Amino acid sequence: MVTNTYSIANVNGNAYAVMGAVVQIMSDERKTMGWDSAAFEKEKEAYLDSAMSSDYDNLLAVSKNMVGRVNSAILANEAANEKFTK
């Protein structure tokens, strides 16, 4: 099965565009991540606080880390679903 994962490689380099794209990814995958509304808000705020805590390189590193977490959850969820469908 082909997995759809996320990347921020083609996002406009503007810091706000990067953060907006990551927050959208987080929102789109709330169920995959197991976040209810309160947990999503907490994770979103933690991401934004960390992303804005330093310079642009930090923002990119924190953003790539979050996208990596989401992608890992997608892959783990897909692997678990494949076990049950075989």
- Structural domain spans, the chain: 15-85
- CA neighbours within 13 Å on the CB side: how many for 42? 7
* The pLDDT of residue 83 is above 80: no
Taking only the tens place, the pLDDT of each residue in 22-81 is: 999 999 999 999 999 999 999 999 999 999 999 999 999 999 999 999 999 999 999 888
- Per-residue pLDDT at 45: 98
- Per-residue pLDDT at 84: 64
Q: Please give the sequence-ordered ranges of beta strands (E in DSSP) within the chain, or none if there are none.
A: none
* The pLDDT of residue 2 is above 60: no
Closest CA to 22 of 46, 53, 55, 54: 46
Which parts of the chain fold into alpha helices (H)? 15-28, 30-33, 37-51, 56-85
- Per-residue pLDDT at 4: 86
- Per-residue pLDDT at 16: 97
- Per-residue pLDDT at 81: 80
